[in-house]
Amino acid sequence: MAAADSIWLRPERASRGPAPGYDRDALAAAGVALADAQGLSAVTMRAVADALGAGPASLYRYITTREELVELMIDRAHAEIRHPERTGAWLDDLLALARESRRVTLAHPWLLDATATRTPMGPSTVGYLEHALGTLADLDVPTRDKLEAIAVLSAVVSALARTEVAQSRNGRTIPDWQQAQAAYLAHIAAEGRHPHLAAAFTHQTQTPEPVDDLFTRIVTGVLTGLLR
């Protein structure tokens, strides 16, 4: 196995030897269950092995590294993104796809951590990309602009989902770092050296916009700005 082989190009089973007791899908499912319940950091090799009833070192018969396990988990989650039927109106279609992406991200918040630094490409992720490009097929702009718009769209959806997750956790227990950040910002605002920021904070007290409206408004703005 060459060093630069994708797990998606490597055969799952060898031709010789005893039948494997597990498979990639089982590892991915166990990892997703753990991450859904306790976050991505709970997905340790030992925890996944335990969940499968396997020994800690057995996982390395299926993956070469922990990162590959996360890749499997990401693609498994991305498979939950439904591809809405095309209506012909590219903006509506792309909005529908973005909403699906948001839904799955909120269902698996650890995706924000897993895809924070890069987005590994697996079958489902590639399928998502193909569908997004298909949505824009009839639009007369350079292919380059379409790819850029899709990339920016993903970044924006992630950013929005991140703030949503942070706020939804407020209902239960507020993480230490958020409390510390809020305290510091309050101090800054009270200090008087940042008038625009202080003004922005007091303006914040109006009735909040429904999240769905906010999502639609921002995504629409970004997409129309990029695709004329």
Applying CB under 7 A, the residues found at the interface with DNA are 13-22, 43-47, 53-58, 60-62, 64-67
Instruction: Name which of 22 and 201 has its Cβ closer to DNA.
Output: 22
**Smallest separation, CB 79 to DNA (Å):** 23
- Tell me how many degrees the CA angle 125-64-155 measures, rounded to the nearest 5: 30
Distance CA 78, CA 72 (A): 10
**Smallest separation, CB 227 to DNA (Å):** 40
Please state, in angstroms and as integers, the Cα–Cα distance from residue 2 to each residue in 48, 58, 68, 110, 195, following that order: 26, 21, 15, 30, 58
Distance CA 141, CA 125 (A): 23
**What are the start-end ranges of the H helices in the chain?**
24-38, 45-52, 66-78, 90-107, 110-114, 123-135, 143-169, 176-191, 195-203, 211-226
Amino acid in the structure at residue 184 = Y
Instruction: Report what 226 binds from DNA, its own copies, none; CB cut-off 5-8 Å by kind.
Output: its own copies
Instruction: Report what 183 binds from DNA, its own copies, none; CB cut-off 5-8 Å by kind.
Output: its own copies
Residues forming the site for its own copies (CB under 8 A): 3-9, 67, 112-113, 116-118, 120-121, 126-127, 129-130, 133-134, 137, 143-144, 146-148, 151-152, 155-156, 158-159, 162-163, 166, 176-177, 179-181, 183-185, 187-188, 194-197, 199-200, 203-204, 206, 209, 214, 218, 221-226
Instruction: Name which of 66 and 86 has its Cβ closer to DNA.
Output: 66
Instruction: Name which of 52 and 99 has its Cβ closer to its own copies.
Output: 99
Instruction: Name which of 107 and 126 has its Cβ closer to its own copies.
Output: 126
Instruction: Report what 44 binds from its own copies, DNA, none; CB cut-off 5-8 Å by kind.
Output: DNA
Angle subtended by helix axes 211-226 and 143-169, to nearest 10: 160
Helix H or strand E segment including 6: none
**Smallest separation, CB 111 to DNA (Å):** 17
Instruction: Name which of 56 and 225 has its Cβ closer to DNA.
Output: 56
CB 218 within 8 A of CB 153: no
